[in-house]
Amino acid sequence: MSEVADRGTTGAPVRRLILLYDAQCPLCTFLRNWLARQRQLVPLDLVPAGSEEARRRCPGIDHISMLSEITLVGDSGQIYRGPAAWVVTLWALSEYRPLSHKFSTPAGARLARAAVLAAAKYRQTHRDQQVRKAGGGAYRRADGWAYDRVDGWTYYGPAACDSGCHVPD
């Protein structure tokens, strides 16, 4: 398992984790619901990536890039992405902690990476299908789009100031 960056968190205990997931992805929401039903040894807060709650709870990270792959944020500032995030997520679950130890070996890490790549392929296929159905790119709130019943979809972009305000182009 590799941490994205060592920000002085090596050896810090993990008492709570925030899992940032893509709420627009059916696979991600399925896994989010599955995780919510599991017995947790370390509490998992399941938060949609790019949401106001995610921005409030994890202010120092790039929230748009968090939509590309699973991201886990520890209460001491640890950040895990991709296969490492899945291994740590399994580690937080009572029934799956022994499996997480197997995935932390070199051979297990290859299996974890293969699982993450398979999930990414599924997500891309689903995203491509959404684009075809919509006749173009899908509008997503996390990307800065807002829907109004009168005006339709409007792009505001990511937050333009530190207070969270949105400034139209």
pLDDT for 107-164, tens place per residue? 777 777 777 666 666 666 666 565 555 555 566 666 677 777 766 666 666 544 444 5
| Closest to 71 in 3D by CA, of 40, 50, 42 | 50
For the whole prediction, is pTM greater than 0.85? no
Give mean pLDDT, residues 58-67.
72
> Per-residue pLDDT tens for 68-122?
677 899 988 888 888 888 889 989 999 989 988 888 888 777 777 777 666 666 6
C-alpha 83: how far from its chain's center? 12
CB-neighbour burial class of residue 67 (10 A; exposed 0-12, middle 13-18, buried 19+): buried
Q: Give start and end residues of each alpha helix (H) in the chain.
A: 26-37, 52-57, 83-92, 97-103, 106-134
Q: Please, how many CA atoms are within 13 Å of residue 113, restricted to the half-sphere of its CB?
A: 9
Give the contacts of 146 (CB within 8 A, at least 6 positions apart).
153, 154, 156, 166
Q: What's 73's DSSP letter?
A: E
> 3-state class of 21 per DSSP?
strand
Q: What's 138's DSSP letter?
A: P
Q: 15 near 82, Cβ under 8 Å?
A: no
Whole-number Å distance between alpha carbons of 84 and 98: 15
Q: Which residue type occupies 79?
A: I
Predicted pLDDT at 169: 41
What letters, b where the CB count within 10 A reaches 16 and e where it falls short, cover 107-133?
ebbeebeeebeebeeebeeeeeeeeee
